[in-house]
């Protein structure tokens, strides 16, 4: 990691307006500058840069941070790489530690070896007789020469050690060949052989276009059908998206990414004009993959074939998508088709029609269930209940239940209500059965903010705006911060990131370091927190001119939270009454009454 003094020096010396202007056209807007956001598609500027505070923020996609965050995101760099780039631009001498220098030298050698291998495989494919087999395969798969060259495709000869011998002649060492994954030891352990033999080669690049690994499809007899570079210092497949180096600009321009599973799916779609396509590396969607995509867009269209294990995993990833605030839609490919075969048969027009019909996650899951159970049979009802029980968000669960009822109504609107009731009863019974083994006599109430209100999209806009106003005043104005924290504790805010920021503000006030708050958050390494803070620091505070502006907003938050607690307590009470679990001394009713009393009291006396 770079020295903290270097990081601080870069933040102090870098002119954020000059840095950002190299990528987007900024226009003055009061004390700040504005532009169309480079990270999502928009027609009205919502991207702001503050030279005074050294921050940028987009109020459309909520991306934001300091100059280092901007370079990281726009270039797709790691933190260390962004520091190195800005250091060079600013003329700041940065001397990495000896250990860091050794790591960088080793990394550079692996990159050089991989680059050499890319060119080696390309020569074999295009300039040798033995490459004819692979050229014919590409012709059969309708991949043009221009497309193949754009993706730097190659061919690994069937011989055992051609690459090993030629790479050593080029000056690369045995340990480098092993570390890169291009070679492996023989079973006897006495020599080296090529890892990829008689395979069409797909070089894999990082977002900056550096070769970090390879994939190979066997062209003769042999297993596995596809083989990837093993885990190396450059290549961790769960953190890699194939073709992102070619797709990242198109993803930003179009405002969404198309996600597929295979090399050929990505290549065929790019050739058909869908240049915002990337592919996962044979792994299920995970936090790393989603975070990479999040750097470029908030909208993803998943186009996996129907019999894919990845598709089933993606349909179970609702919480992952919600946590990263992604809008996800699913393409419903015909049975037996993948994006590659579909676009070859039906062309770009056919695939575009599929994209236009892509469904939300909830609708897609319902479509799949109804396809297997077209009528509300006992088996279908059981499958529906399991699906509904797996949906943790109550609003999404209700939407899913309504969609199921509509699909099973057979076009008869009068049946929808009865079907909704039947599904609701079956779900309650299923949940009751699931809870029975772990029932306790003690009555507990879940925190409504931590459950149904886990996402800010569930909270009413007016309430959410009141909380944002309070947080903006707290991080921008020291006296406002003191006043707000004297009336409300950090834990009373609705969003966890606001609670965390409020605690930091409180600590800064105690340490007399309020002015250092942006620098402190920047050093925490929490990207979500940095983005939230950048937006709050650039928010308008004109609402403060109203009388009792802070007090009114605090009262609204408190009342809303009490209302949610009362709603959950009432639901728990009704559930116990419906299942006969309530006893004369059960505290549920009394606690609910106390909450209602607190609500009435607050309405009378205010804050």
Sheet holding 226-228, edge to edge: 154-156, 199-205, 211-218, 226-228
Phi, psi of 361 (to 5 degrees): -55, -45
CA distance 71 to 65: 10
Nearest to 529 by CA among 491, 501, 489: 501
pLDDT at residue number 447: 37
pLDDT at residue number 577: 63
CA distance 593 to 512: 43
Do domains 98-235 and 239-357 share one topology? The answer is: no
Q: pLDDT tens-digit profile of 198-240?
A: 999 999 999 989 999 999 999 977 889 999 999 999 999 999 9
CA distance 534 to 518: 8
Long-range Cβ pairs for the range 375-383 (8 Å, 24+): 375/408, 376/408, 376/419, 376/422, 380/408, 381/422, 381/423, 381/426
Question: How confident is residue 14, by pLDDT bands cut at 50, 70 and 90?
Answer: very high
Q: pLDDT tens-digit profile of 320-376?
A: 887 787 899 999 999 999 999 999 999 999 999 999 999 998 889 898 899 889 988
* Beta carbons within 8 Å of 409's beta carbon, 6+ residues apart: 415, 416, 419
Question: How confident is residue 15, by pLDDT bands cut at 50, 70 and 90?
Answer: very high
Q: pLDDT tens-digit profile of 232-251?
A: 999 999 999 999 999 999 99
Report the 3 state secondary structure along 316-378. Answer: CCHHHHHHCCCEEEECCCCCCCCHHHHHHHHHHHHHHHHHHCCEEHHHHHHHHHHHHCCCCCH
Nearest to 371 by CA among 431, 310, 306: 306
Nearest to 69 by CA among 106, 32, 19: 19
Mean pLDDT calculated for residue range 417-428: 90
Structural domain boundaries of the chain? 4-90, 98-235, 239-357, 367-438, 459-607
Pick among 1.20.140.10, 3.90.580.10, 3.90.1300.10, 3.20.20.10: CATH of 4-90: 3.90.580.10
- Chain centroid to Cα 408, Å, comes to 33
pLDDT at residue number 351: 98
Does domain 459-607 match CATH 1.10.860?
yes
Helix and strand tally (H, E) in the chain?
26, 17
Q: How far is CA 238 from CA 241, 286, 339, 519, 597, in A?
A: 8, 7, 22, 32, 52
Question: How confident is residue 585, by pLDDT bands cut at 50, 70 and 90?
Answer: low
Q: pLDDT tens-digit profile of 90-99?
A: 988 877 677 7
pLDDT at residue number 61: 86
Instruction: Answer with the residue of higher pLDDT: 501 or 102.
Output: 501
Q: pLDDT tens-digit profile of 434-482?
A: 765 444 433 333 333 333 333 444 678 889 999 999 999 999 999 999 9
Level-2 CATH architecture, domain 98-235: Alpha-Beta Complex (3.90)
Q: Which helix (H) or strand (E) holds 263?
A: helix 263-271
- Among 82-96, 210-224, 271-285, the range scoring the smallest mean pLDDT is 82-96
Q: What is the pTM of this model?
A: 0.72
DSSP string across 531-567: HHHHHHHTS--GGGGSTTHHHHHHHHHHHHHHHHHHH
Instruction: Answer with the residue of higher pLDDT: 286 or 598.
Output: 286
3-state SS, residue 280: strand
Average pLDDT, the chain: 86
pLDDT at residue number 588: 66
Mean pLDDT calculated for residue range 247-266: 93
Q: pLDDT tens-digit profile of 109-158?
A: 999 999 999 999 999 999 999 999 999 999 999 999 999 999 999 999 99
Mean pLDDT calculated for residue range 17-39: 93
* Beta carbons within 8 Å of 486's beta carbon, 6+ residues apart: none
Question: Looking at the domain covering 239-357, what would its CATH class be?
Answer: alpha beta
* Beta carbons within 8 Å of 31's beta carbon, 6+ residues apart: 50, 51, 52
């Amino acid at each position: 990691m770079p020295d903290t003094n270097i990081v601080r020096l870069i933040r102090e010396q870098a002119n954020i307006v000059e840095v950002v202007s190299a990528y987007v056209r900024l226009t003055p807007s009061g004390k700040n500058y504005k532009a169309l956001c480079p990270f999502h598609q928009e027609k009205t500027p919502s991207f702001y840069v503050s030279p005074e505070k050294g921050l940028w923020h987009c109020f459309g996609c909520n991306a934001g941070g300091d100059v280092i965050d901007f370079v990281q995101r726009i270039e797709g760099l790691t933190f260390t790489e962004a520091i190195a780039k800005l250091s060079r631009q600013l003329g700041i001498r940065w001397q990495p530690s000896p250990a860091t220098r050794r790591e960088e030298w080793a990394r550079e050698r692996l990159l050089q070896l991989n680059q050499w291998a890319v060119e080696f495989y390309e020569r074999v494919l295009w300039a040798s007789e033995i490459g004819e087999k692979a050229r014919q395969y590409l012709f059969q798969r309708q991949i043009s020469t221009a497309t193949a060259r754009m993706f730097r495709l190659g061919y690994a000869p069937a011989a055992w050690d051609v690459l090993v011998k030629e790479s050593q002649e080029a000056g690369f060492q045995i340990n480098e060949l092993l570390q890169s994954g291009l070679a492996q030891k023989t079973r006897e352990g006495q020599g080296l052989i090529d890892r990829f033999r008689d395979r069409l080669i797909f070089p894999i690049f990082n977002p900056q276009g550096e070769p970090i690994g390879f994939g190979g499809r066997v062209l003769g007899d042999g297993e596995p059908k596809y083989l990837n570079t093993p885990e190396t210092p450059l290549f961790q497949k769960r953190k890699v998206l194939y073709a992102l180096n070619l797709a990242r600009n198109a993803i930003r321009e179009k405002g969404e990414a198309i996600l597929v599973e295979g090399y050929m799916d990505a290549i065929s779609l790019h050739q058909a004009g869908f240049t915002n396509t990337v592919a996962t590396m044979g792994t299920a969607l995970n936090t790393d993959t989603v975070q990479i995509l999040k750097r470029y867009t908030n909208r993803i269209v998943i186009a996996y074939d129907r019999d894919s294990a990845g598709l089933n995993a993606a349909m179970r990833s609702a919480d992952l998508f919600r946590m990263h605030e992604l809008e996800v839609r699913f393409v419903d490919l015909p049975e037996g088709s993948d994006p590659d075969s579909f676009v070859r048969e039906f062309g770009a027009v056919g695939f575009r029609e599929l994209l236009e019909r892509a469904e939300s996650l909830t609708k897609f899951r319902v479509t799949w269930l109804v396809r297997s159970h077209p009528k509300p049979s006992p088996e279908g009802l059981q499958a529906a209940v399991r699906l509904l029980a797996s949906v943790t968000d109550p609003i999404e669960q209700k939407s899913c239940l309504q969609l199921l009822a509509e699909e099973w109504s057979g076009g008869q609107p009068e049946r929808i209500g009865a079907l909704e009731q039947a599904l609701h009863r079956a779900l309650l019974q299923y949940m009751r059965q699931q809870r029975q083994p772990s029932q306790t006599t003690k009555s507990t109430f879940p925190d409504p903010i931590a459950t149904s209100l886990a996402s800010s999209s569930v909270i009413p806009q007016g309430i959410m705006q009141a909380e944002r106003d309070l947080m903006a005043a707290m991080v921008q104005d020291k006296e406002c911060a003191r006043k707000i924290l004297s009336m409300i504790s950090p834990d009373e805010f609705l969003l966890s990131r606001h609670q965390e920021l409020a605690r930091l503000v409180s600590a800064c006030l105690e340490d007399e370091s309020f002015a250092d708050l942006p620098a402190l958050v920047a050093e925490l390494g929490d990207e979500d927190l940095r983005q939230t803070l950048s937006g709050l620091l650039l928010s308008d505070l004109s609402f403060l001119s109203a009388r009792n502006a802070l007090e009114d907003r605090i009262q609204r938050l408190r009342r809303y939270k009490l209302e949610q607690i009362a709603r959950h307590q009432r639901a728990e009470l009704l559930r116990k009454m419906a299942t006969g679990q309530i006893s004369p001394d059960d505290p549920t009713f009394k606690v609910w009454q106390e909450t209602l009393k607190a609500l009435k009291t607050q309405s009378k006396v205010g804050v």
